[in-house]
Amino acid sequence: MATTNVSSVRSSISSSKQNSHYPLKTPVLVKPFLNLKPANPSSSSSLCQSPSITNQTKKSFNLSCKNQKPTSDFTIAANQDDDFDDKLREECGVAGIYGDPEASRLCYLALHALQHRGQEGAGIVTVDKGEFRLKPGVGLVSEVFNESELNKLPGDVAIGHVRYSTAGASMLKNVQPFVAACKFGQVSVAHNGNFVNYSSLRAKLEETGAIFNSSSDTEVVLHLIAHSKASNILLSIIDACEQVKGAYSLVFVTKDKLVAVRDPHGFRPLVMGRRSNGSYVFASETCALDLIEATYEREVHPGEVIVVDKDGCQSLYLALRFERRACIFEHIYFSQPNSIVFGRSVYQSRREFGEILATEAPVDCDVVIAVPDSGVVAALGYAAKAGVPFEQGLIRSHYVGRTFIEPTQKIRDFGVKLKLAPVRGVIEGKRVVVVDDSIVRGTTSSKIVRLLKEAGATEVHMRIASPPMVASCYYGVDTPNAEELISKRLSIEATRKYIGCDSLAFLPFDSLKKLLKEDSSGFCYACFTGNYPVPPERKEVKV
């Protein structure tokens, strides 16, 4: 792979036409999400609704004008059910395929492997002979796509996205990838992360006449591409990425290129792999590569721009270079245990977190259990180090959505009971250590402790496989306002009393950094310290 600095190629890179290598059926064409023009104070960019490939009917939509307050998906409304919101949520996952005749199917499978990163929306864009096809939908990957829909997505290039939206923002128009038309032709993008300067960029763009069709910060990138004075689409993408600040792992597709970009701090993960037929694969995690039998090659480096086209693969770098600040919560909670993230095994990290807890916060107990699924590996590490049996003391239901019907007569802790069921034979008469990945508001933890004691546990000791969370994240994670974080408001002892457990211990921050050794300086710990590598423009009230 060739590696080049952007400055040395700005004047030499040009967009080139590429025909499909594979004879595929005639596609159903899709209208672009945006029809953008270069910046002109006297004219406005015109928009059209992002359509489903099976429904080309235009729908009404709200336009955001410059006198309206810009909003981001990262600003959320209160949800009525704390039991399902008292966990952090990763905003999304991305995938990209180049050079495979079954690109849409491989992208579908990759998104299925990344489903844990977002469950409320999914979309795929393919390019065949320079023409774009789009299929977005609300719901799980398996609900959005079927054989018939995938047959309508021919082409050997595809990008895809799974999305977790915050409450009130789960709308089809916010489902990615987005497709836009600009002076260089059509371009599509899928984004994992959050732009901390989104509000000011959007306001500035609206002053020039830009009209936004969604509440997603990702749309800013498309407008920046359209407004760029660069000489071709690739340099316009690079120009746009150098203007946004914060966390982003992006995959773009043009009529003849696939472009993968990671922010200069490397907050969010993005990896590259190859299949046996030579096709290129990009994904948020290596578990997606495993499913489609792609060999993991390496991470996309912080600040790197990888361009894949008919001439091969080229590596460029953004002009901005910063110290690496990878999100530590990818190892604590977000990523699948079978993934390699930031060059480290997620499974091994979580097991070692549990071992540290057993060493530094031991307690006499009879059994170790986990809050499934994210606490399981840390609980295994705790049990092994402590020499105490690990058992499945809580069984998680995999069939609970965010909407359910509660009986007329109120049942205490109904939401938690619907999702988690204690195993009385494991718990009754026992001193129980229960391991979880984190505590956010504390509402769910208190209900879990009550469930375990009602099931007969004589003692319940909580062990948390992360340090106390005292600050919100602005880099693509759905966290509450800082004042709602229980560790921000209360001491560990006060938190213990609120939760109702017999003892409470968190993973010590210094021990976490010691475990990471020489890699420790390359992680972002803002949620534990309040020290932000890229300060947000304004700490918006999120709930």
**What residues are labeled active site?**
92
What CA–CA distance (Å, rounded) separates 364 from 388? Answer: 9
- For the record, the structure tokens of 535 come out as 């300060």
In degrees and rounded to multiples of 5, residue 178 shows phi and psi of -95, 145
**Tokens matching residue 54:** 């099976």
374 is in an annotated binding site: yes
Residue 264 one-letter amino acid: P
Is the torsion defined by CA of 520, 522, 523, 528 positive or negative?
Answer: positive
Q: Please calculate the CA angle 76-226-101 and round it to the nearest 5 degrees.
A: 85
SS3 label, residue 172? helix
CB proximity list for 87: less than 8 A, separation 6 or greater: 438, 440, 444
Check the annotation: does 256 bind a ligand: no
**Is 52 one of the annotated binding-site residues?**
no
Question: Hey, is 75 helix, strand or coil?
Answer: coil
User: Which region, left, alpha or beta, applies to residue 260 given φ > 0 means left and ψ of -120 to 50 means alpha?
Assistant: beta
**527 marked as part of a ligand binding site:** yes
Rounded to whole angstroms, what are the CA distances from 307 to 99, 117, 161, 285? 13, 25, 19, 19
Is 313 assigned to a binding site? no
Both tokens of 203, joined, read: 């306001």
365 is in an annotated binding site: no
Angle at 55 between CA 54 and CA 61, to 5 degrees: 140
Report how far residue 268's alpha carbon sits from residue 248's, in angstroms, rounded to the nearest whole number: 6
Amino acid at 127: V
**Pairing state of beta strands 523-524 and 326-327?**
parallel
182 labelled binding-site residue: no
Residues in binding site for Mg(2+): 374, 436-437
Q: Binding site: residue ranges?
A: 327, 374, 436-437, 473, 524, 527
Q: Which residues are annotated as a binding site for [4Fe-4S] cluster?
A: 327, 473, 524, 527
